[in-house]
Homo-oligomer: A and B are copies of this chain.
Amino acid sequence: MNDHADATAERAPVPAAALDAIKQALGSKGWTDDPDIMAPYLMDMRELFPGRAALLARPAGTDEVAALVAICAEHGVAIVPQGGNTGLVGAGVPHAHGGEILVNMGRMNKVRAIDPLNDTITVDAGCVLADIQEAAADADRLFPLSLGAEGSCQIGGNLSTNAGGTGVLHYGNARALVLGLEVVLPDGRLWDGLRGLRKDNTGYDLKQLFIGAEGTLGIITGAVLRLFPKPRRIETALAAIPDPAASIELLARLRAALGDQVTAIELMPRIGFDMALRNVPGTVDPLRGRHDWYVLLEVSATQEGAALRDGLEAVLATALEDGLVEDAVIAETGAQRDQIWFMREAIPLSQKAEGGSIKHDISVPVSRVADFIAEADAACIAAMPGVRPVGFGHVGDGNMHYNLTEPEGADTEAFMAEWERMNRVVHAIVERMGGSISAEHGIGQLKRGELRRYRSKTELSLMHTLKSALDPQGIMNPGKVL
C-alpha cells in the first residue's frame, strides 16, 4: 500500500551531539524520549504507518523551533513536523528507522491577535482548529474551515495539508483562508511573512510554497487567517434524487437563485444510508420510502428574514415538479438539522462494521461527477464481483470519497490485499477525466507512488526542483510527498 522504501527505509542514527544541543535549546519541558509518552505521536490515525523517532520535541515558541531546526541543519538531522496527528496519509509521523526528530507543535497554541475590523486572526501553528473557530465566533465573526477532526487537528497541519472539509464550496480550501505566514526554513532561518493584507503584489507570493507542502519545505509556526461575517440564518435540507446527475443540476439551479449563499451540498447513495441505519446508533432516515440517491443542501445568510428559506423552497418546489427531486425535507429545528448532518457523518463511520474498505479521495470537474460514479461503479464491480461501492461527499467541489466496501462475507485480509489493484481501476478513470487522486487528504507516505504514476515528468521535476532549492540537504520531512 505504501511506496516509500526508496530513500526512507534507512537513515543514520541522530548524533548524540545533535540530541544534546536540541535538549539544551528546548529545556526540560521541551522534549521527551520516554517511549510511553511518545507512543501516540508515532502512529498515524489509520494505523498504517507505525514509526519511531530519536526524540519528541515540543517547542514552546517560534524561536525554539528556529533553534531546533538550525541544530538539525548543522548535523544533517531529519525533522518531521506534526500537528494534531489527524492526517490520513502518514505525512505527520516519522519513518520506522528512528533516525528522525519528531516536532509536535501542540505547545504553541495561542491566538496571538484578532482584528475584527480587518477580519483577521493571527495564531500560533499549534492552535486547535475548534479554538480558532471559537475565538472568531466570540468576535462575531466566522472562521469557515470545518472538518471532522476540528476538535483536535491544528491549524499548522490544516495549512500544511491545504485542508478541505465541508465549507469549500463557498469559502475555498485552507489556502484561500491565509493572508500571512511565519515559517522556519530548512536552514533554521525565520521567514516573517505575517502580513494581514488583502492585496500585496510585492514579488513572489512565498506563503503559497508552504501551504499544502506537508512540512517538506519548512515548518509553519504562525499564520494570519481571514475571518468572515457570521451567518445568522442557516437552512438545511435533505432531498431524494433519482441519480447523481440530478445533484449537479440542482446545485446549478440553487446557485443561480441563491449565489454564494449555497454553502454545502453533499451527495449520498442509498447503500450509505443503509449502512448508517444498520450500524450507527442514533441515525434516523429523514425521508419516507427508499430512494437511490440523496443530497444534503445547506444555504446560509447573514441577513435576517424569510428570503433565504423562500429561495430554497422555490428551487426545491420546481425541482420536484421537474422530477429532479423525488422528495425533500427542510429542517425546522436545530435538532432536525443535526439529524440530517449526522446521516452524512455516519456513512464513513458505518463502513467499518461492514468489513474492510478500500478508500479513494478523488476529485473530477463537477460536471463529470455523475459520469465518474457510473463508470467507476461498473468498472469496480467488473473487476471484483460483489464489491460494494459507496461514493459520497462534497459533490459541489467535485470531490467524492469513493470507498469500496468488501463483498458480503468476504475475507477482509484478502480483500484489503487488493488495495493497489482497485486503486488502478478507480484512478485510471479519474486520470481520464482530468481529475485528482488526492482531492483533500494529500500525499504523505500513502500516495507517493500514485503521485509518480499520475503526474507528468515535467510536473514531478518542477516539484523536485523546488524541494532541492529550498531544502538542499533533504532534512524537512523526507520521504513524504516526493
Residues of A bordering B, CB below 8 Å: 115-120, 140, 161-162, 164, 168, 170, 172-173, 175-176, 185, 189-206, 208-209, 211-213, 217, 228-231, 248-249, 252, 255-261, 301-303, 305, 307, 310-311, 363-368, 394, 397-399, 434-443, 447, 451, 454-456, 458-460, 462-463, 465-466, 468-470, 481-482
Contact = CB atoms under 8 A, between A and B. Distances in A.
Contact of A117 (B206, B248, B469, B482): B248
A201 B438 contact: yes
The 7 closest A-B pairs by CB, nearest first: A259-B302, A208-B208, A469-B469, A117-B367, A200-B436, A199-B439, A307-B307
A137 B206 CA distance: 34
A195 B451 contact: no
B482 A203 contact: yes
B201 A161 contact: yes
Q: Which of A120, A192, A459 gathers most chain B CB within 10 Å?
A: A459
A341 to B, nearest CB: 20
A196 B433 CA distance: 10
A235 to B, nearest CB: 13
A185 B260 CA distance: 36
15 contacts: A185-B462, A191-B458, A191-B459, A192-B456, A197-B435, A198-B397, A198-B398, A199-B363, A203-B455, A256-B302, A259-B301, A261-B303, A303-B307, A305-B310, A466-B469
B258 A205 contact: no
Contacts of A456: 191-192
B202 A451 contact: yes
Given A198-B399, A229-B260, A398-B198, A205 B175 contact: yes
Find the residue from A168, A194, A197 having the highest chain B CB count within 10 A: A197
A21 to B, nearest CB: 23
A324 B176 CA distance: 32
Given A193-B459, A202-B451, 7 more contacts: A115-B365, A164-B199, A175-B205, A201-B212, A201-B443, A259-B303, A260-B260
Nearest to A472: B465
A427 to B, nearest CB: 11
Contacts of A161: 201
A166 to B, nearest CB: 12
Contact of A172 (B176, B205, B229, B310): B176
Nearest to A435: B197
A230 B260 CA distance: 10
A142 to B, nearest CB: 9
B255 A302 contact: yes
A284 to B, nearest CB: 30
A121 to B, nearest CB: 12
A229 B259 contact: yes
Contacts of A439: 197, 199-201
Given A117-B252, A140-B256, A305-B307, A201 B436 contact: yes
Contacts of A438: 200-202
Contacts of A213: 204
B212 A204 contact: yes
Most B CB within 10 A of own CB, among A161, A248, A249, A458: A458
A458 B201 contact: no
Contacts of A115: 365, 367
A434 B192 CA distance: 11
Contacts of A117: 248-249, 252, 366-367
Contacts of A217: 204
Given A307-B307, A462-B191, A468-B469, A365 B197 contact: yes
Contacts of A120: 365
A93 B456 CA distance: 33
Contacts of A436: 195, 197, 199-202
